[in-house]
């Protein structure tokens, strides 16, 4: 019997990578407008290459980008990129369709709800607050020093929920981190296929979830 549901955050409750791409495109457009001489697609490819190296939450990514492409720091170009990025990011941190109404339904059913995310703790709370979902969660476990599928963040959430692992459903978009990590501790798992990135599709069968969600509202059929 499912008594609690744990969610990954990015690309499970919100379209994080969609928001990231739109924000970065706006930042590059603004940098070009401020004097950066570079074709947009090439700039985006370089920027995301740096994200892959330093991490998707790296705070100084635009500084690294400018040093990489022009070999120096241009404050005018940097400021233009950061302002444009922040403006678009605030607009696009919204939940997937149907998330908020279904969270309300799950709460009414008496289920405990929680988050296990690799995002820094403040950013996790900012995203939950921006999407209007902070009130629904009993537990929020953000970056603990160990990233999923390490058992530490999962164990912290289980302990805080005070629910047996076999009575918890974990919903996430990354088979390597979410499905693998949750199953290792005995939780039931659901793959958020609507948020699955192409580069992770090859892991779907290797780390097979108990359920697959084509849409977020499909969760209601499980619980």
Instruction: Provide the 10 A C-beta neighbour count for residue 107.
Output: 15
> How does pLDDT run across 82-125, given as a tens digit for each residue?
999 999 987 777 899 999 999 999 999 999 999 999 998 998 99
Instruction: Provide the 10 A C-beta neighbour count for residue 166.
Output: 12
Contact 8, 113 (CB under 8 A): no
> How does pLDDT run across 60-76, given as a tens digit for each residue?
999 999 999 999 999 99
How much is the mean pLDDT over the chain?
95
The DSSP call for residue 141 is E
> How does pLDDT run across 138-153, given as a tens digit for each residue?
999 998 889 999 999 9
Task: Please name each of the domains of the chain with its CATH number.
Answer: 4-14+96-221 (3.40.50.1000), 17-92 (1.10.150.520)
Q: How large a percentage of the chain has pLDDT more than 90? A: 87
Average pLDDT of the segment spanning 44-56:
95
CA atoms of 214 and 193, how far apart (whole Å): 5
């Amino acid at each position: 019997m499912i008594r609690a549901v744990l969610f990954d955050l990015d690309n499970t409750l919100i379209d994080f990578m969609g928001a990231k791409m739109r924000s970065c495109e706006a930042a590059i457009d603004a940098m070009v407008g401020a004097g950066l001489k570079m074709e947009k697609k090439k700039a985006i490819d370089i920027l995301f290459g740096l994200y892959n190296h330093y991490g998707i939450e790296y705070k100084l990514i635009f500084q690294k980008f400018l040093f990489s492409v022009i070999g120096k720091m241009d404050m005018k170009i940097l400021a233009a990129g950061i302002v444009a990025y922040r403006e678009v990011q605030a607009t696009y941190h919204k939940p997937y369709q149907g998330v908020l109404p279904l969270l309300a339904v799950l709460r009414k059913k008496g289920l405990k709800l929680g988050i296990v995310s690799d995002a820094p703790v403040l950013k996790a709370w900012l995203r939950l607050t921006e999407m209007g979902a902070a009130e629904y969660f009993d537990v929020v476990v953000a970056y603990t020093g160990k990233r999923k599928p390490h058992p530490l963040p999962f164990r912290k959430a289980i302990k805080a929920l005070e629910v047996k692992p076999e009575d918890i459903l974990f919903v996430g978009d990354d088979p390597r981190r979410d499905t693998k990590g949750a199953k290792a501790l005995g939780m039931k798992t659901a793959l958020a296929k609507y948020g699955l990135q192409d580069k992770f599709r090859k892991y779907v069968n290797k780390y097979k979830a108990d359920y697959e969600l084509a849409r977020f509202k499909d969760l209601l059929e499980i619980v």
